[in-house]
Amino acid sequence: MNTYLQIGLEYGLIATGIFILIYVNSAWYFYKFARKKTNQHELRLYAAAFLAIYTMLYLTIATVSSMGGTSFFFIIVLFAISTAFINILRSENTSKSVKSSNV
């Protein structure tokens, strides 16, 4: 059975929607930052790598019958790491705009 269907049957459609929206929100932010023309080439590469990881993860979830407990822990850790990286990207953007406005 599809993992999304398992989540939907166990926790409901709202929880499945939230699970998918967490991915879409993070992936959209990584996509926007990876396409941005900045001097922070390394951060753009990290954003592209996170986008690739998220895409691989959600395609795997859609095609594999059961993810199991260990894989669910991996998903939670990935969300935590990506949230921290998004906060780093946001702080880099605000520090760049503050520096440019002070000059």
Mean pLDDT in residue range 44-67: 82
Residue 81 to residue 7: CA distance in whole angstroms: 22
What's the pLDDT score for residue 7?
77
Distance CA 55, CA 37 (A): 22
pLDDT value at residue 100: 57
**pLDDT value of residue 73:** 78
State phi, psi for 67 to the nearest 5 degrees: -90, -30
Predicted pLDDT at 70: 61
> Model confidence over 73-91: pLDDT tens digits?
777 888 888 889 888 888 8
Residues 6 or more apart in contact with residue 96 via CB below 8 angstroms: 38
pLDDT of 6 reads 78
pLDDT reading at 61 higher than 70: yes
